[in-house]
């Protein structure tokens, strides 16, 4: 058996060996640090037996891929602590997630945040006990009986859903045993001290609102305390930036029980939204896109042809019109396809870059709704590109350039994922391979680093996802490029080639913002409500020192308004210091204080959000400066912070 190690060296073994034993063969120090293995790209348990030629990486806590193993083990420690403190608790599931882990449990009496300290103290005891973590298996029938004896009905249900011939794995640490596929660390001691219970929430068993509501305990863990402290600091900052809180304070949007998941945009929010849409139209016009608008409601036969009726029906709102089934569109693409098919096309017409700011509706479960981040209706900045096969690479590059330009404007870094064919998909293996290779080759030629996200593509094609990073380090999936060979086939789209014959076009689906509503939520949190001047709903607030100077203040307001600057006049009979503080709380980029001297000189006393007092300026000079800042979309405020 040949084992190729990370450094390229090859070790030969004449018998099967566990990952841990191979680590021990390499060095005692490596064995002590080892927490998992990676065999041919798949993270596996340290106890996994290697019995064939393979590529093997020994993972330690220095490897990012080992972090889920630490967190998964910590979830078992937390569950064990809860079982010790609350013996009647029934366990459901406890996976690691992107920023920590959780465990769903059924409590006899409600749990509150006051219980967190007690649970954490018990976790520390379990870790100190240095309990060996042992893996064992049972046949399905024995596994069911085993969990029934332990009074764990949720575990029993999970096992019953597995095939009859399944061998079920368990992990045991001391008196605690849990149904689990792993992987896990060697001992509870390896979890260390850098963990914290963060919050609790309700969660329906298996995400189904018809099932029992369980308590979901969220927590996180890191290899080092300083990493945990940095994460907690980031989360505290995220609370201050919560777009739901700031959206209400700044008068941008609201939610109402009359329409859960359906956002209401207020006047200032509409200014922000329309400014983003104006920018979208500006950059797309330059990039050679045309804009269309397609109906919100279309009949069932269209959605059957597109494949959405079979693959997406549970997320679609439906209605009946003239005794025929219709659906409110969850995506814009079938409408775009009908526009393409509305007239004959030639190879000379291609590529056609067709953009649409379409309002779409998707049925999201109530427990998943979250401000503007997860809603039931939103504006998707779609575009559909119809092209010949030899145009694919250049069009993908063009979309990447457009996305890069947009994210750079807002100060976002990003990373890229290539998502491949999911289990629920349509189309031939050949088409999927061709589409995936086209995306991969474009990324390689652009020398754009990416990771492969197996099985996470759309049902009709593979995709490139762009995950942007905000100013406090959180990631958000926004832009996407999806290559589609299926819809052109299903709708029998055609173009006449240079040879005079009919050919099938290739189609790209792509978004830059993704959802305008969600992107606004991200921007609110990214900027903490302090938008760049070009984007701010109110760019200037005029602050007269007293009622005596209200006439001049109105002249200043009018001149700014006539120049196209978004301006407000504070006409309240309040002290100037109070007015300034109020404008700062409202994140207004510029405050113009006017009194006797300013009126005499035709000037304004300028205070900026970032720099404070900037002194007196001639009104015309201020207007020229702010118009330049707006036109160039300069983020002067951020540069001064």
Question: Which residues are CB-contacts of 487 (< 8 A; sequence separation ≥ 6)?
Answer: 306, 307, 333, 334, 337, 460, 493, 507
Question: Which residue among the candidates 384, 566, 579, 607 is catalytic per the annotation?
Answer: 384
32 is catalytic: no
463 is catalytic: yes
DSSP state of 7: T
365 is catalytic: no
Question: Which residue among the candidates 80, 173, 380, 486 is catalytic per the annotation?
Answer: 380
Report strand pairing: 54-59 vs 36-39: antiparallel
CA 592 – CA 513 distance, rounded (Å): 34
| Alpha-carbon distances, residue 177 vs 49, 133, 152, 183, 236 (angstroms) | 22, 10, 11, 14, 35
DSSP state of 590: E
Instruction: Give the three-class secondary structure for 608.
Output: strand
Q: Which residue has the tokens 């459901």?
A: 92
CA 269 – CA 464 distance, rounded (Å): 30
278 is catalytic: no
Tokens of 329: 């569109």
CA 85 – CA 429 distance, rounded (Å): 53
Question: Which residue among the candidates 509, 541, 609, 617 is catalytic per the annotation?
Answer: 509
362 is catalytic: yes
CA-based nearest residue to 470, from 156, 280, 282, 238: 238
In degrees, to the nearest 5, what angle opens at C-alpha 247 toward C-alphas 243 and 251? Answer: 170
125 is catalytic: no
Question: Which residue among the candidates 35, 180, 333, 478 is catalytic per the annotation?
Answer: 333
Tokens of 601: 């000189």
Tokens of 566: 């978004």
CA 426 – CA 304 distance, rounded (Å): 13
The answer to whether the CB of 601 falls within 8 A of the CB of 565 is: no
Tokens of 519: 């992107």
Q: Which helix (H) or strand (E) holds 38?
A: strand 36-39
54 is catalytic: no
Angle between helices 392-409 and 267-286 (to 10 degrees): 140
In degrees, to the nearest 5, what angle opens at C-alpha 24 toward C-alphas 19 and 26? Answer: 100
CA 73 – CA 221 distance, rounded (Å): 10
CA-based nearest residue to 436, from 407, 463, 398, 470: 463
The sign of the CA dihedral 151, 155, 157, 162 is negative
Question: Which residues are CB-contacts of 79 (< 8 A; sequence separation ≥ 6)?
Answer: 91, 94, 103, 105, 176, 178
Question: Which residue among the candidates 463, 587, 607, 617 is catalytic per the annotation?
Answer: 463
Question: Which residue among the candidates 104, 190, 381, 382 is catalytic per the annotation?
Answer: 382
The answer to whether the CB of 81 falls within 8 A of the CB of 200 is: no
| Alpha-carbon distances, residue 371 vs 278, 366, 377, 419, 478 (angstroms) | 24, 12, 12, 27, 16
Question: Which residue among the candidates 241, 353, 362, 587 is catalytic per the annotation?
Answer: 362
Catalytic residues: 333, 362, 380, 382, 384, 463, 509
């Amino acid at each position: 058996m040949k084992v190729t190690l990370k450094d390229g060296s090859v070790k030969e073994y004449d018998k099967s060996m566990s990952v841990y034993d191979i680590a021990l063969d390499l060095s005692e120090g490596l064995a002590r640090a080892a927490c998992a293995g990676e065999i041919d790209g798949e993270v596996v348990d340290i106890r996994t037996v290697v019995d064939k030629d393979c590529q093997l990486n020994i993972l330690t806590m220095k490897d990012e891929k080992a972090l889920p193993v630490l967190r998964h083990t910590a979830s078992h420690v937390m569950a064990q602590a809860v079982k010790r403190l609350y013996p009647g608790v029934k366990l459901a599931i406890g996976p690691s997630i992107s920023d920590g882990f959780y465990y769903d449990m059924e409590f006899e009496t409600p749990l509150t945040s006051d219980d967190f300290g007690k649970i954490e103290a018990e976790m520390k005891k379990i870790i100190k006990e240095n309990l060996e973590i042992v893996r064992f298996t049972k046949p399905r029938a024995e596994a069911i009986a085993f969990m029934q004896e332990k009074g764990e009905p949720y575990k029993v249900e999970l096992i019953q859903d597995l095939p009859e011939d399944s061998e079920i794995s368990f992990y045991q640490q001391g008196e605690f045993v849990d149904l689990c596929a792993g992987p896990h660390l060697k001992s509870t001691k390896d979890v260390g001290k850098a963990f914290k219970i963060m919050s609790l929430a309700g969660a329906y068993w298996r995400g189904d609102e018809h099932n029992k509501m369980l308590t979901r305990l969220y927590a996180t863990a890191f290899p080092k305390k300083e990493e945990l402290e940095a994460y907690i600091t980031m989360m505290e900052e995220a609370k201050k930036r919560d777009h739901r809180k700031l959206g209400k304070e700044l008068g941008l949007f609201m939610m109402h029980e009359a329409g859960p998941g359906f956002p209401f945009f207020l006047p200032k929010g509409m200014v922000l939204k329309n400014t983003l849409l104006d920018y979208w139209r500006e950059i797309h016009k330059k990039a050679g896109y045309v804009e269309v608008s397609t109906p919100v409601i279309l009949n069932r036969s269209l959605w059957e042809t597109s494949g959405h009726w079979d693959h997406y029906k549970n997320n679609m709102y439906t209605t009946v019109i003239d005794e025929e089934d219709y659906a409110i569109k969850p995506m814009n693409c079938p409408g775009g396809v009908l526009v393409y098919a509305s007239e004959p096309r030639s190879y000379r017409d291609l590529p056609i870059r067709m953009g649409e700011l379409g309002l779409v509706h998707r049925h999201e479960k109530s427990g998943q709704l979250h401000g503007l981040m997860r809603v039931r209706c939103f504006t998707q900045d779609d575009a559909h590109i119809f092209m010949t096969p030899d145009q694919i690479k250049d069009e993908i590059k063009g979309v990447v350039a457009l996305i890069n330009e947009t994210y750079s404007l807002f100060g976002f870094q990003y990373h890229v994922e290539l998502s491949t064919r999911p289990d629920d998909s349509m189309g031939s293996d050949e088409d999927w391979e061709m589409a995936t290779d086209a995306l991969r080759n474009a990324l390689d030629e652009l020398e754009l680093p990416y990771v492969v996200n197996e099985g996470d593509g759309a049902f009709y094609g593979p995709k490139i996802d762009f995950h942007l990073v905000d100013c406090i380090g959180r990631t958000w999936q926004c832009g996407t490029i999806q290559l589609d060979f299926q819809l052109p086939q299903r709708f029998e789209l055609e173009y006449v080639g240079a040879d005079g014959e009919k050919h099938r076009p290739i189609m790209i689906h792509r978004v830059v913002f993704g959802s305008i509503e969600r992107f606004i939520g991200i921007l609110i949190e990214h900027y903490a409500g302090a938008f760049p001047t070009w984007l701010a709903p109110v760019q200037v607030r005029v602050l007269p020192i007293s009622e005596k100077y209200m006439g001049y203040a109105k002249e200043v307001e009018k001149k700014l308004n006539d120049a196209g600057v978004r301006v407000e006049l504070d006409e309240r009979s309040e002290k100037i210091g109070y007015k300034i503080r109020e404008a700062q709380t409202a994140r207004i980029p510029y405050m113009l204080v006017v009194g006797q001297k300013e009126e005499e000189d035709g000037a304004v006393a300028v205070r900026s959000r970032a720099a404070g007092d900037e002194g007196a300026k001639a009104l015309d000079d201020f207007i020229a400066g702010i118009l330049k800042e707006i036109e160039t979309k300069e983020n002067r405020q951020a540069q001064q912070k």
